[in-house]
Structure 1
Amino acid sequence: MTPTTVAPPTGATPVDLARGFLTGGVIGVSLTAFIVGCALGKAPLIVGALALLAVYGLLFFLAGAPRRAREAALAPRTALALIEGMEAKQGEETDVPVRFDLTVAPEDAPAFRIRFSEAVHVSELPDYRPGKVLVVQYPPDRPWRLRVVKRPTPAWEQRAAGAAIDSVPGPAVAGDRAEGCAWGFVTLLGLLLGAAAVVLFFRAELFGGSADARPAPPEQSVSVTVSVTSSSTDAVTTSATGTVSFGPGRSMLDRGALREAVESLTQGGDGGGGGGGRQALTVVVREQLLTVVFSPAGVDAPAFDPRSLPFDRVPALVEEARTTLGVDSPRTWQLSAERLTGSLTIRVGVAGAGGSASLEADGQGVVVRRSPAR
C-alpha cells in the first residue's frame, strides 16, 4: 500500500471573510431593526427587517448555486477505511459526536490518514471499534469531507467484512476543520457594526435625545436611573433597555448572580405583564454583562417575564455548549432568550479557535437542538 498525504482544507479566503462580514452585518441590521421596530411600534421597520433578511438569504442561495452544481457533478468516491482510533464525547442526546482517526484505502489512489467528527447513535457505538473496516464516501476533490456509509450496499458490506488494510502512519488531516477564528471574528464584527448602526440611527427615538421628538405619555416617559450596587457592579435602566455589568472577579455564571442581576432591572415596574415585573423582548447574557430589551407599554409584542428564565440551568447550558459542540479552546459565549416564535427559546453560542457552534433549549432549559462546529 502506497501512502500519501492529503492537502488539508484551506482556511478562510478574503472572499470568505468578506462574505462573513456581510452576512454578520445583514443579521445585525435585521435583528436590531426588528427589535427597534417592536420597541417603537414601527410596522414598516419590522417588515423591512424581515424583508432584508429574506432577500439576502435568497441572494446568498443563488450565489452559491454554481458551486453546488459543480460539486454535485462529481460523483462521490467510495472506499474502505480502517479505524485507527476513536473518541466519543459525552452528551445528553441519543446521537453522540465521535472523533474518528481513519486510514482510508481507495481502489485507484494511494491510502491516506484523516481525522474527523461524526454523530453516531449510542446504540451503534459498539460497532465502531479500533481495527474495524468501514465503508466511507468522500468527494474526489475534497477528501476531508469524508463521511461513514452507515448502510452500505451488500457488495461493499461483504468487501469490508473480509478486507485487511494496513495502517498508514500519521499525521492525520483534520477533516472537520472550520474556517477558523478569523471568519468568526469578522462575522461577529459585521453583526456588531450592523446593530450599532441601527441603534445610532434611532438613538433619538430610543433614548429621547431629540429636541423635536414628541413627548411621551407620563407612563412611557424616558428616565434613566444609574445605580451602583457594589464596587464591581453597575446597573443602568431606561424605558427601553437595561444593562448590568460586573467588574473583574465576578461572572454571570456565579451562583445566584444572573437572577440577582435580572431582578435588579425588572423590579418596580408592571411592564404590562400583570406580574409586577417588566416584560422583555430579548435577554442577552455574556460573561460579565446582562442586557435586557424591554417591551414598551401599549405595544402588542411577543414579550416574556425575564424572571421566568431557568437560572439554575444557565451554567450547565453554557458548559455543555463549551464542551460538547466540537469547538476547540472556546473563548467567548453568549446566551440569548426571546419569544418571537411563540414559546420561550434560549440559544447559547460559543466561539473559539475551532470555530463557532450553538445549542437551543426551551423555557425549562432542556436542550432541543444542537449546531456543532463544522
Structure 2
Amino acid sequence: MVTTGETSARPTRSAARRLFSLLAVIVVSALAGGTLTAVVVGVMLKDGALFCGGLGGLLVSVLLVVVPARMRRSRAPVPVPRVALARIEHRRATNGEFADVPVRFDLTVAPDDAPAYRVYVHEQINLVDLADYPEGRIVVVTYPEAQPSGVELDRRPTEGWARRAAGARIDTAPEHTRVKPDDAGWSGCVAVLLGVLTGAALALLPLRSELDSRFGDAAPAPSGPSAASTVIPGASSGTTTTVTTVTGSASSASTLRPGEMRRLADTLVTGMGTELGTRITIEEKVMSAVGSKGTSTGGALPMSLRALPYELFPGLVDSARTGLGIEDPETWRIDITPEPGSPAPVVRVTVSGHGRSAYLLADAVGRITARHPG
C-alpha cells in the first residue's frame, strides 16, 4: 500500500529530478558553446593553444552527452505501448498537396484501468481512408505508458481489439480531463540554446579586446585621437593640426564612418586652441586644419570648424566616386577653404585613380555646385 506521504513525495522528487536534468543540460551546452567558440576564435586569431584547448573541450562535451545517453538506453526497459479504445469526438482535415492529408482528431481515450480523458491527435490519413474515421466511431489507439498524450491510431489492431471496438460504447469525457502534450522537448531546446549562448558569451569576453584590435574598424584608443601641431612656413598667425585615429596599431577608423569627422573636428579644435581655420583637409585616415586666431591669412576670412556640415561630406565623397567618370577610384580627398572675402566655405572633393583625377565643388550646405569629370 502506498501512503499519502509517499504519493505526495513522488511529484516533488520528479520535479527536482527534472530541474536537475535541465541544469545539467545548460551546463553541458555552455561547455559546448564556449569550446566551439574557442575553436572558431582560435582559427581566426591563428592561436594554436586556444584552438587545441577548445577542440579538447568540445570533445569532452560530446562525451558528456553521448555516454550518459547510451547508458540510460542500455539500462532502460523496452517500453511496451498501452492499448485502449477511443471515441472520435471531432475531426478536422486540412488541405494537402499529396494523397495523405493532416487530420486533427479530438478523442476520448478510455483505458481499461484508468479514467477516460480527452486528447488531440494529429495523423496523416489517406483521402480514400478518411471516410473510415467518422465522428462517433470507436477506434483502437496506442500510447506510451508514461505519456498519455502520445496517442496514435492503431490502424491494424488485433482481432480481439477489433471485436471490442465494434461492440464498445464510450461516453464523451469532459473537457477538464484533456491532457496536453509534454513540453519537455521545448524546455530542453530552450535549455540548450541558453547554455550555448551563455558559453559563447563567456568565451568571447576575455578575447574581446584582441578581436577588436585584429578585426575591429578602429584600434582601441584610451584617450581618443591624438593631435600634433606644426607651424606653417610663411604663415605667422596659423598652425596646422593633424588628427589621426591610429594609436599604435596598423588599422584605423575611416573618416567616412558616421560621426567620425565631427569627432575629429572637435579634437582639432582642442589641439589648436581655436575653432577658427582657413583650410581643412580630410582624407581616408587623417584630418588636418590650418588654425587662425581671428585674423585673415592671404585675404581669406577664417571659418568655424564646428559649423561645417560634416554629416553631408560622406555623401559628397560617394557622389564623386560614382559620378565623375573615374572607374574604381583609389583615393579621395576633401579640401575646404573659405570664399575670398567671406567665411562661407567652399568644399572640393577630389578622387583619383589609374593616373586620372576629377573633382566636384559644393557649398556650405552640401549642395553640389559644379562637377569637373576626369
Task: Compute the TM-score of the two structures, normalised by the length of structure 1.
Answer: 0.44
Q: Which has the higher contact order (CA 8 A, sep 6+)?
A: 1
Larger Rg: 2
Task: Compute the TM-score of the two structures, normalised by the length of structure 2.
Answer: 0.44
